[in-house]
Amino acid sequence: MENFRAHLDKFIKINDEEYASILSFFTVHQFKKKENLMKEGEVCRSLFFVSHGCLRKFFINEKGVEQTTEFAIENWWITDTFAFERQVRSDFNIQAVEPSIVLSIDLASQKVLLEKYPVMEHYFRMVYQKAYAAAERRIRYLHEFTREELYVQFSTQYPWFIQRIPQYLIASFLGFTPEYLSEIRARLRS
Amino acid sequence: MENFRAHLDKFIKINDEEYASILSFFTVHQFKKKENLMKEGEVCRSLFFVSHGCLRKFFINEKGVEQTTEFAIENWWITDTFAFERQVRSDFNIQAVEPSIVLSIDLASQKVLLEKYPVMEHYFRMVYQKAYAAAERRIRYLHEFTREELYVQFSTQYPWFIQRIPQYLIASFLGFTPEYLSEIRARLRS
């Protein structure tokens, strides 16, 4: 769980004893590639931190096609925030893209953790602030760019995106068909 | 500033003396309709809370057209989070849609406020968590819905959106021309 400790250290000061106590609020899971962490229709019980690997969040659109809206690699948090906060059914799925090691916490445990370690309010404030800043920019890109430009934008901003994510999932994230993505890649190479 | 007090009370417990002290970290402004709070190219110095009125955030696209990405009415916070956090130039504009009363705080003052009143970490954590949850859903809608469906979605979810926002700004937010918005409204009425 070195990644989690390092990520906490970026935002807050805690000693080894406090870290051990904070960590005890979390459950560690290992997920195989394509294993589901949460399925559409289930109450959203967990907030996930990716220690190793990669997860994605997706929904199934009217045509029955999986539409990926988010990826999470090392040091990213992922859940359906709206459904987690309210403990209601989610209309998203969360699935492992790679074999992954993940920490999870439920809402009641998070509440106790925050009461015991108020410094974690600062940590989560920074996590959500940064996530919101990224979402604000992404909403702008969705307005501003053509799909080809979106591909270039994400490739430049997140180099791991192209290196680690299978092509059919990149296509699903950008709302392309895999064939259209191949065309764009060919055009950009030429 | 009753709205600000009521909004704080939704998330944290503070007495009148603490409230007065917290409020002293903020500056109160009055803006006329169409007055600018922040212009593209300026360093993003302020985080704004709308006490009365309505603000919008927009950028100017390649064709020179204003593209609105966000509205903020009473009890909403607005800034360019990415640029505010880093104190760098913003590529957004913030402007009053209606005559507005707004609280502002700069990054250094917010830091001191958070040190003096750690309970404000909880408050801002909840503000950003809720903002992020709304952004997650909006990203899904941008993938899932046609533009006509987006209009119906926003009208249903945010009734004030249709009541308060001038039509040409609704069009700018949804990426329509004003003419196309009139067509949609006519179609929905029939």
Strand order in the sheet with A93-96: A36-38, A93-96, A55-60, A66-72
Please check whether residue B164 lies inside any domain of the structure: no
- What CATH number is associated with residue B27? 2.60.120.10
Q: Mean of the pLDDT values across residues A109-121?
A: 97
Please check whether residue B137 lies inside any domain of the structure: no
Distance from CA of B18 to the nearest CA of A (A): 19
Closest CA to B14 of B110, B149, B120: B120
pLDDT at position A12 = 97
Please check whether residue A181 lies inside any domain of the structure: no
pLDDT, tens only, A120-137: 999 999 999 999 999 999
Distance from CA of A43 to the nearest CA of B (A): 16
Please check whether residue B12 lies inside any domain of the structure: yes
A-proximal residues of B, 137-166, CB under 8 Å: 137-140, 142-144
* CA distances in angstroms from B97 to A3, B2, B47, B72, B168, listed in the order given: 45, 21, 17, 9, 11
Phi then psi dihedrals of residue B123, to 5 deg:
-55, -50
Please check whether residue A94 lies inside any domain of the structure: yes
pLDDT, tens only, A63-91: 888 999 999 999 999 999 999 999 999 99
Do A136 and B67 lie within an 8 Å CB cutoff? no
Residue B187 CA to residue A52 CA, distance in Å, equals: 50
| Disruptive mutation site among A143, A153, A172 for chain B (greatest number of B CBs within 10 Å) | A143
Give the chain A residue nearest B176 (alpha carbons).
Answer: A143
Tokens describing residue A96: 């492992």
The DSSP annotation for B44-102 comes to --EEEEEEES-EEEEEE-TTS-EEEEEEE-TT-EES-HHHHHHT-B-S-EEEESSSEEE
Q: Is B104 on the interface with A (CB under 8 A)?
A: no
Please check whether residue A68 lies inside any domain of the structure: yes
Distance from CA of A120 to the nearest CA of B (A): 9
pLDDT at position A150 = 87
Compare CB distances from B121 to A59, A81, A121 and report the shortest one's residue: A121
pLDDT at position B154 = 85
Closest CA to A121 of A23, A41, A2, A8: A8
A-proximal residues of B, 110-139, CB under 8 Å: 114, 118, 121-122, 124-125, 128-139
Please check whether residue B144 lies inside any domain of the structure: no
Length of chain A equals 190
Which comes out higher in pLDDT, residue B175 or A9? A9
Residue B74 CA to residue A77 CA, distance in Å, equals: 30
pLDDT band at A181 (very low <50, low <70, confident <90, very high): confident
- Own/partner contacts of B182-188, CB < 8 Å, gap of 24 or more, are B184/B147, B184/B148, B184/B151, B187/B148, B188/B151, B188/B152
Please check whether residue B53 lies inside any domain of the structure: yes
Question: Is A1's pLDDT higher than 80?
Answer: no
Do A122 and B114 lie within an 8 Å CB cutoff? yes
User: Per mean pLDDT, which range of B10-19, B58-67, B125-134 is the poorest?
Assistant: B58-67
Closest CA to A126 of B134, B39, B111: B111
User: Per mean pLDDT, which range of B6-10, B64-68, B79-83 is the poorest?
Assistant: B64-68
Residue B22 CA to residue B118 CA, distance in Å, equals: 11
Do A85 and B129 lie within an 8 Å CB cutoff? yes
Residue B181 CA to residue B103 CA, distance in Å, equals: 33
Compare CB distances from B81 to A133, A142, A144 and report the shortest one's residue: A133
pLDDT at position A185 = 84
Question: Is A110's pLDDT higher than 80?
Answer: yes
pLDDT at position B62 = 86
Q: Mean of the pLDDT values across residues A100-122?
A: 97
pLDDT, tens only, A2-53: 899 999 999 999 999 999 999 999 999 999 999 999 999 999 999 999 999 9
pLDDT band at A111 (very low <50, low <70, confident <90, very high): very high
Size of interface A-B (CB pairs under 8 A): 97
Read off the pTM: 0.94
Could you list the residue range(s) of the whole structural domain that residue B7 is in? 2-116
Distance from CA of A163 to the nearest CA of B (A): 24
Distance from CA of A93 to the nearest CA of B (A): 13
Which comes out higher in pLDDT, residue B175 or A19? A19
Q: What percent of chain B has pLDDT over 70?
A: 100
| Disruptive mutation site among A10, A70, A82, A153 for chain B (greatest number of B CBs within 10 Å) | A82
Do B80 and A124 lie within an 8 Å CB cutoff? no
A60 DSSP β-pair partners = A66
Per-residue burial over A79-100, b if 16 or more Cβ lie within 10 Å, else e, is bbbbbbbeeeebebbbbbbbeb
The tally of domains found in chain A comes to 1
Q: Mean of the pLDDT values across residues B116-137?
A: 96
Q: Mean of the pLDDT values across residues B39-65?
A: 95
Do A82 and B136 lie within an 8 Å CB cutoff? yes
User: Per mean pLDDT, which range of A99-108, A115-124, B144-153 is the poorest?
Assistant: B144-153
Q: What percent of chain B has pLDDT over 90?
A: 71
Do B85 and A133 lie within an 8 Å CB cutoff? yes
